[in-house]
Structure 1
């Protein structure tokens, strides 16, 4: 009888032991990413991703050991090879990564955006003067010269026979006189040295007076814009939209989603191993821009205010971050449930705001 009871206890313990294998052996949890998602300070590791993971592990009574990974790409490969059980960090869920047969992602725990860092360089005399040779100013001047030529020619044709003293019969001095008259009329200076006397000439002049009001406003707007750029030190070639990155030298951290964005955008990729080295490439003028996670950029610039860099006013794409696991991992469902609970309780937003603001 006692032997039978002992056998029953052994069977029950064996059953429970096989049901909770992950608690018996600590999980191998890889970590990879930059601050504020993964922050290393001495022997301690924290950050948005780490804090969310710790809440998930605590919610499911999971024991684990943290294993640093050199890059997100290396961490994903480690999950694929079975070297680690979970990869924690700002790992973007991309179509290319989802297509990998050996890895899977949990429910997204954070919605981020891909940002762009641009250099702040003091303007040179040449860059200030170049704004006057921009297409907006040049096109306005070309249009103005063309209109003056047309109006001057029409005035000359109308006046050359009856008013040859002011508009000579020869075409070169005659058209020159007509353009001078059109310019004086445009600027409303009114020298009075030349004036049409024919009905046709006066009709053309009257129409030109009305049209010149529009011409002056257009030219004034172009010149005002050029003078504003000149005084502010800005340049017309500054990157202000995503499409202006095409063909530019763009610094990216190798193995991140920023590299995929740069490849799709036909940019000239300048690779770096870490965010710090990628930023140094930008500071050293070896790159024109840097693509990386916008929250990480904000955090880095906040903690390094002396860097001559600024965050671009636009984003390239929205990205969802998830933890990487094996496709057949029993952790998938309990981790998804815990992540959704944290999001609905507002804890994910609270963690992010505490580190980013």
Structure 2
């Protein structure tokens, strides 16, 4: 071989070797959906893949962000996003069902590697764990009873409320008791007005007690015995107190239902019976505003109480509240259009997790895709 051919063959060989090595370089690697993955993203995700680790991903049903079917399979906005991110990074995982508190405590004690649901980013939570880049922004909303009739019918319905009927029954018992006493005193000495059969006498006593209490005093019946007149004197003064108490009770029974229909925004919650989910961002928001509230373990429990008239309003994340009311309480409950206190949803990770940065980049790439917009439309309806 002459020197010229020998020198020519070496550059060609080196060029061939460089091309082969370039085809296998991380810079040209691709993600599961065909999108190019950056060197840093692949490098950051490699440790888990190299060790063959399957991430323990905590989740809980929170439609439409996490929807669980009867077979225990998960879908929804958050699930679609996470599975796209995991596919991009080549991460294997298993879902671990949990309650809301467990999604955060599990990250702190090492039971979970990631939590995926409708998790709101808050300062108090950030102090103990890390969050990914927020993938959805919303706010808190208020569910109230639907206006299912005219104002006239609503007023009539209040007269048949439990509070009104209870007050009416108590007053009837008091009038009957006074009527019996006056009848016992007057039945013989004043038989013309309180005599007759037992039923007639008791009826006359009840009538006298009622007209005396209301200060109408028709004058058709009046006690004549000393005992009867003393009872009448005491009853006239006692009736002033009783009628005032009864009026207050009636006013309460007639206005308690107006609270729900009168709630137009967060400013109307101060005097209402409010309920939310225990440990939620909504509970903290209400607490910060000084609004008294009770809690339920699940959103469904609060909505059931609202539908039954045991509370006046349910406060919770707008998309979750709208989804549940629309699908289960469309005829009885409604969600006000106004929202307050912005809520940002994100994935939750243990503090200092190496996966946070690659997950953030994968999220940002997916949020810019048509697939993400299609997902929002599928689960949340038309998007602005």
1:234–1:75 Cα change, 3 Å: closer
Q: Does 1:337 align with 2:361?
A: yes
Matched, 1:49 2:81: no
Q: Which secondary structure state, in structure 1, belongs to the residue aligned with residue 314 of structure 2?
A: strand
Q: Which residue of 1 aligns with 2:130?
A: 104
Q: Does 1:62 align with 2:91?
A: yes
Cα distance change, pair 297–236 in 1 and its aligned pair in 2 (3 A) = closer
2:48 corresponds to: 21
Q: Runs (4+) of structure 1 moved beyond 4 Å?
A: 121-129, 233-237
Query: Which whole-Å CA distance do the structure 2 matches of 1:105 and 1:58 have between them?
Result: 20
Q: Is the 8 A contact 2:260 2:272 kept in 1?
A: no
Give, in angstroms, the shift of residue 22 of structure 1: 4.5
- Give the corresponding residue for 1:75: 103
- 3-state SS of the aligned residue for 1:75? helix
Query: How many residues are matched?
Result: 235
SS, match of residue 112 in structure 2 = coil
CA change 1:112–1:22 in 2 (3 A) is farther
Backbone CA RMSD of aligned residues? 2.5
CA contact (8 A) 2:55 2:92 kept: yes
Correspondence list, 1:149-298, <5 A: 238-298=262-322
- Answer yes or no: is 1:328 the counterpart of 2:352: yes
Q: Is 2:119 the partner of 1:91?
A: yes
Check whether the contact 2:273–2:312 (CA below 8 A) recurs between aligned residues: yes
Q: TM-score, normalised by structure 1?
A: 0.61
CA distance in 2, matches of 1:296, 1:306: 14
Equivalent in 129, 141, 159 of residue 115 of structure 1: 141
Unmatched 5+ stretches in structure 1: 1-15, 130-232
Q: Of 51, 54, 66, which aligns to 1:38?
A: 66
* Uncovered stretches (5+) of structure 2, i.e. residues with no partner: 1-42, 157-256
Tell me, yes or no, if the aligned pair for 1:34 and 1:275 is still in contact at 8 Å. no
Q: Which moved more, 1:46-55 or 1:245-254?
A: 245-254
For the 8 Å contact 2:48–2:91, the answer to whether it is kept is no
Once the two structures are TM-superposed, the CA of residue 46 in structure 1 deviates from its matched residue by: 0.5
